[in-house]
Structure 1
Amino acid sequence: MVKRESARQAWDRRAAGYDRAGDRMERLTIGDSREWICARARGRTLEVAVGTGRNLSRYGPDVDLVGLDLSPNMLAVARSRSEVLGRRVELREGEAEHLPFPDASFDTVVCTLAVCAVGDRNAALTEMRRVLRPGGRLLLLDHVERRWLRGRPADLALRLGFVVEARGRLRLGLIERLAAWKPA
C-alpha cells in the first residue's frame, strides 16, 4: 500500500505539466498510435490509466467512455479536457490491478503507454480481461522498458488467452501496439 500511495503522489505532482513535457517526444516516437488505438474502440469502453485524457478527442462519438486513473490530479486535468471538448466521460479514481467494475462490463478496454507504470502488470492485464465481455477488444500501446525482457504487455495478454486481431511494432520495435479480442 505504501508503494501505491507513493506512486499516486508522484503522478499527482506531475499532472499539471505532464502534457507539455510529453508532447514533442510523443510526436517523435509513437506517431499516429493513439489514433490507431482509439479508432478501434467500440461501445462501452474503459480506458485504464486515462491520465490527463490525452486520448479523449480521438474516440468516436459511438464510444461510451469510462476513464480510470490512480491520480486525482491527473483525473482533474482529464475532467477539464473533457469539458473543453464537450466529451461526456465518467472519470473514476482506482487501480489497474483492482478494477472497480463487474465482470464482463465493457466492450473495449484501452491502455496507452501506461502498463509500464503499473506495479503488477499481470494483475492489471488479468483485470482488463475480467471486465471485458466475451468477444470484447483489448487495445494496448506501450514502449520498451527493462521489465519487458520477461515479456511485453502484448505477450502477457496473449498468455492470458487474448487472440490477436492486429499487432505492430514501430521505431525499431521500441513501440508496440496491439488489438486483440477475448474469446467467448
Structure 2
Amino acid sequence: MTTSAASRETRRQLRHWGRHAESYDTKIAKVEGTMLAGTREWIGERATGRVLEVAIGGGRSLPYYRDDVSLVGVDLSPEMLTIARRRADELGRDVDLHEGDAENLPFADSSFDTVVCALALCSIPRPQIAVAEMARVVVPGGSVVIVDHVRSSVPVIRAGQWMLERFTIPLQGEHLTRRHLDEVTAAGLSVVEDERLRSGSVERIHAVRPAR
C-alpha cells in the first residue's frame, strides 16, 4: 500500500469512528463477554511502569490497569478520545490522552515500559508500520502487548472470515484474516507469549524489545 493510499484509508477510519464512536461500546461489550472474555484482564496483568495504549478508543481497558502504572493513550479519533476521557473521569483514573496516528506515534524513542494495542491492528491501514512504531517507543527490555481477532486456524471458519471481509473492509476498514505475529518479529521484538483462542481466531501476543 502506498503512502497516499494509506492516507486515504486513515481518513476513512477517522470518518468511520467519528460516526460510530458512541455505538462501539455496546457492540464490543457483547463480544468481550463471549469471544474475548478475559482479554482486558490479560492485558492489565502484563502492563507495568509507564504504559502507552495505542488506539485506546473509548478506554475500555482503563479499569484493568494496575493503580501504580502511569498511563498514556493515543487514538486517531477525537470522538473516541472524548469517551475515553469521560470513562477515565468516572473511574477517577489519571490518563494522559493524545490525538495521533498509530503509524506515526507522537512520542520519542524508548519512552514507555509497556506498549499495548487491543483490537485495533485489524483496522489500522498498515499494521506492520504500527507495530514497528510500538517497538520504537518501548524501552529496551520493555513489553509490547497485542490482542486482536485474526484469521482462524480452522479452514471453514477462515473461509467464512474471508467472505465477511468482502463487506467489512469496504464498509469499515476491518480485516478479519490478518495475523500479526510475523509483524511483531519483523519489528525486532522477541515473543515470550503467543496464545490463540476461539478456534485460533483470537490471538494474544506478549513480546519484549531485546535489551541492548
User: Which interval holds the TM-score relative to the shorter structure?
Assistant: over 0.9
Which runs of structure 1 show a deviation greater than 3 angstroms over 4 or more consecutive aligned residues? 145-149
Q: Is the 8 A contact 1:37 1:179 kept in 2?
A: no
Match of 1:52 in 2: 58
CA distance in 2, matches of 1:36, 1:64: 18
Match of 1:9 in 2: 15
- Letter aligned with residue 68 of structure 1: V
Match of 2:187 in 1: 160
Deviations 1:2-33 (A, max 9, x none): 33222111101111111012211221101101
Secondary structure at the residue paired with 1:102?
coil
Q: How does 1:35-184 map to 2 (within 5 A)?
A: 35-145=41-151, 152-184=179-211
RMSD of equivalent CA atoms? 1.4
Q: Is the 8 A contact 1:134 1:183 kept in 2?
A: yes
Secondary structure at the residue paired with 1:98?
coil
CA distance in 2, matches of 1:2, 1:105: 29
- Letter aligned with residue 83 of structure 2: V
**Which shows bigger deviation, 127-136 or 21-30?**
21-30
Match of 2:157 in 1: none
CA distance in 1, matches of 2:8, 2:198: 36
TM-score by length of 2: 0.83
Secondary structure at the residue paired with 2:33?
helix
CA distance in 2, matches of 1:61, 1:154: 30
Identity of aligned residues (%): 46
CA distance in 2, matches of 1:105, 1:16: 31
CA distance in 1, matches of 2:12, 2:193: 36
User: What is the Cα deviation at residue 159 of structure 1?
Assistant: 2.4
CA distance in 1, matches of 2:119, 2:200: 14
User: What is the Cα deviation at residue 162 of structure 1?
Assistant: 1.2
Aligned residues, how many?
183
User: What is the Cα deviation at residue 166 of structure 1?
Assistant: 1.5
User: What is the Cα deviation at residue 148 of structure 1?
Assistant: 7.2
CA distance in 2, matches of 1:158, 1:148: 20
